[in-house]
Copies of this chain bind each other. A is one copy, B any other.
Amino acid sequence: MPKLTQNRVERRRRQLLDAAAACFSSKGIHGATVPDISQRAQVSVGTLYRHFGSKERLIIAIAERICRQDALIVERLLAVARPFDQRGALDSIVLERLEDFVSAKEARLRIELWAEAPLHPALRAVLRQGLENIIDKVEEALRAENGQNGTTATDARKVIGLVQGAILYRALGVS
């Protein structure tokens, strides 16, 4: 079956990425073996390697996808929270509604990636970029709502810090 169509390639990659995300979040990045992942994706290890080349590149591909998803999640959170009628309103929304947007498994996966990042420069670059991206998004939203007065870059970082804290709570199972 030579000459895989663009379409089939996309499907295979998604299959593999889904399987990897599931395995990484249930067993951890180190606990999930390559055979675990390929089996879950109903594919041979050789096929996994044809598409991603190494476990590390698979991890990076997961991180890129996560970053894209996070951008969407933040947009939806901001939409839900608007108008930010008073200081702190956005903060509360984050704490109260985040779990509608990020499941415990997804929370777990993000923490895995954060832990892995310091050891892998390429991964760190991806995650940092993703983080800066959503910080920008929040900052922009804050400025649009509040006008120029009083909104600083720090406010946006506060909000995202809150999101991260909430993710951690989910992963640790803090009520």
Contacts and interface: CB of A to CB of B under 8 A. Distances in A.
A163 B88 CA distance: 17
Q: How many copies does the complex hold?
A: 4
Interface residues of A, number: 43
A174 B131 contact: yes
A102 interface: no
Interface of A: 2, 27-28, 30-31, 44, 87-88, 91-92, 95-96, 108, 111-112, 114-119, 124, 127-128, 131-132, 135, 154, 157-158, 160-166, 168-169, 171-174
Given A124-B172, A161-B168, A164-B164, 7 more contacts: A2-B44, A95-B161, A108-B118, A114-B171, A128-B173, A161-B165, A162-B162
